[in-house]
Amino acid sequence: MTGTPAGAGHGAEDDRRPADRRYVVLDCETTGLNAAQGDRIVSLALVTVDGGRVVDRWSSLCDPQRDTGAIHIHGIDNATARRAPRFPALVPEILRHLDGETVAAHNVGFDLFFLTSELERAGVPWRPGRVLDTLDLAQRFMPRLRNHRLATCAKALGIPHRAHRADSDAEVTAALLLHLLDRAEEEGHADPATLTVPGIRVLRRARRRSLRCDAEAPALSRRHRDAHRTVEAWPESTAVWRQALGTLQREDCPEAGRLLARFGVRKAGSPDPTDGPVADEALRTAIDLHLAGGAPDRDDLRYAMEGLARADAERRTPERLLALFPEPAATIARLPGCGDCAPCEAGGRCVTGSPAAALVSHFTEAGQRADMEELARYLPLIHEAGERTVLGRAARHVGQAREKAGREDEAAELWRWAVDRGARDGVLLNRLSMHHERRRKDDAAALAVCELALDGPLDGGGNSAREAIEKRAERCRKRLARAASS
């Protein structure tokens, strides 16, 4: 194991050009290609770059507690691996390097999936922040290469490379990263947000690929393989679809939920009224399968939820969506965030795949705005499901409709009810504090609402709502101070 002290600037705000910012480059050598099927890490390297240069190097072999796999690729035999530390012993040093950092790798999903699989096996919860993939960047900014393998990119740039050694691969990836960031800036990508993506999204895709099951997957039963071939042919017959999907469910196919959702969405858009119940059953079953799978994917749930919402679109009362309360709506609300939606980015509650969010959208679409009072009836359901972000959004819309109807006090009463139950919608809090300041002439009450809003992240309204609340708070403080001194 080798290492040097980590560089400065860990977790700090950074307004430097992309190539001068801080990144930790990760590379893993493994026993095979699929962590979901028991392959393990045999060596790992982390190289930290900051200010356009390498400031830290750390690497270690790792005992995989099984055979080391393709020795001809990584050169690590079983005897050597058995003398190395096991992964749990490496965890403190790994987390010291990675926590709070932007992680980069060449095909970052591969390395990230193996790393998180090992951490989960060691009982250590860890969620990546934003990540950067030099493979993606090379495809964008070095398009003329015959392929974009790390060795090919290194050769094109004249970077010395000893392939399939974690420490060498990480060093080469770091050099490649700095070159690509310079090239990206030359082409107008000065904002790193346009180059990085949420790590949780990359990890989710890597996990999905590792569980991919289709007609070409190995070790399937004949029934399982035939069912996939039937679905891939996209049959017109509902009976044929249902038979194939039923087989996939009985075979515990990991793709069954997603394929049921595809089928349900197709039927939900059918003009044939007899397809409605078929779509409902398929979409509800898809949701149940996703939730029973152990690691539900919010994007998969979102797709099924959109199908139910589409089927409810022409109805005044969205019966299919309401049937999801209290369960599975409450279970979905408790799932980890997707890491990619606006509430997740702002530190709030995720709404991807949320039945409550779909329910509110049903009433807030342009054609449904007259039904705000019906939406008000369902606010307790949204609250009981634990959907704080959606509760604030719904209460905001209902309250604004009441304001327009001249029912300002009823609007404020509703907003207060939602705030008392955890809603932190920026527009709602701005309107409520405005109500106290302008209509009630109660600076103390207005200031109390403003201070509550400014005490943490807001779920909606962005910077404009926060700025308006900050200005209102300052006005109220000045008036209260003058009144106290007079």
The string of pLDDT tens digits covering residues 131-151 is 999 988 888 888 888 788 888
User: Residue range 14-37: average pLDDT?
Assistant: 84
Q: Mean pLDDT throughout 359-388?
A: 85
Q: Which of 28-37, 295-304, 394-403 ranks highest by mean pLDDT? A: 394-403
The whole-number average pLDDT for the span 183-208 is 79
From the list 404, 386, 379, 461, the residue with the least C-alpha distance to 428 is 461
Give the pLDDT score at 81.
Answer: 84
The larger pLDDT score, comparing residue 121 to residue 11, is at 121
Question: Which are the contacts of 436, defined by CB distance < 8 A and separation ≥ 6?
Answer: 412, 442, 443, 445, 446, 449
- Where does 2-210 sit in CATH, by number? 3.30.420.10
Backbone φ and ψ for 459, nearest 5 degrees, come out as -85, -15
Q: Is the pLDDT of residue 403 over 80?
A: yes
pTM (two decimals): 0.63
**For the residues 282-311, what does the mean pLDDT come to?**
87
pLDDT band at 11 (very low <50, low <70, confident <90, very high): very low
With pLDDT > 90 as the criterion, what percentage of the chain qualifies?
Answer: 48
The pLDDT score that the predictor gives to residue 211 is 62
Residue 348 CA to residue 456 CA, distance in Å, equals 10
Count of residues for the chain?
Answer: 486
Token pair belonging to 182: 């310079």
Range 182-191 average pLDDT: 81
Q: 3 falls in which pLDDT band (50, 70, 90)?
A: very low
Task: Report the pLDDT averaged over residues 247-264.
Answer: 90
Q: Hey, where are the domains in the chain?
A: 2-210, 213-314, 316-423, 425-486
Q: Tokens at residue 312, please?
A: 């409810």
Rounded CA-CA distance 198/110 in Å is 15
Compute the average pLDDT of residues 373-381: 95
Instruction: Please determine, for residue 36, whether its predicted confidence score (pLDDT) is greater than 80.
Output: no
The band of 297, judged by pLDDT with boundaries at 50, 70 and 90, is confident
Bigger pLDDT: 14 vs 216: 216
pLDDT the model gives residue 6: 38
Nearest to 200 by CA among 96, 330, 345, 95: 345
Q: Read off the pLDDT of each residue in 250-274 and give the average, rounded to a whole number.
A: 87
**In the prediction, which pLDDT does 168 show?**
84
Residue 289 contacts by C-beta under 8 Å, 6 or more apart in sequence? Answer: 249, 256, 257, 260
Q: Does the pLDDT of residue 410 top 60, yes or no?
A: yes
Residue 342: pLDDT above 80?
Answer: no
**Alpha-carbon span 255 to 235, nearest angstrom:** 18
pLDDT (0 to 100) of residue 4: 42
**CA distances in angstroms from 135 to 109, 152, 157, 178, 203, listed in the order given:** 10, 11, 14, 13, 15
Token pair, residue 35, equals 């962590």
Query: Mean per-residue pLDDT for 170-197?
Result: 85
H/E element, 242: helix 238-250
Mean pLDDT score, 153-167: 81
pLDDT at 313 over 50: yes
For residues 212 and 372, the model is more confident at: 372
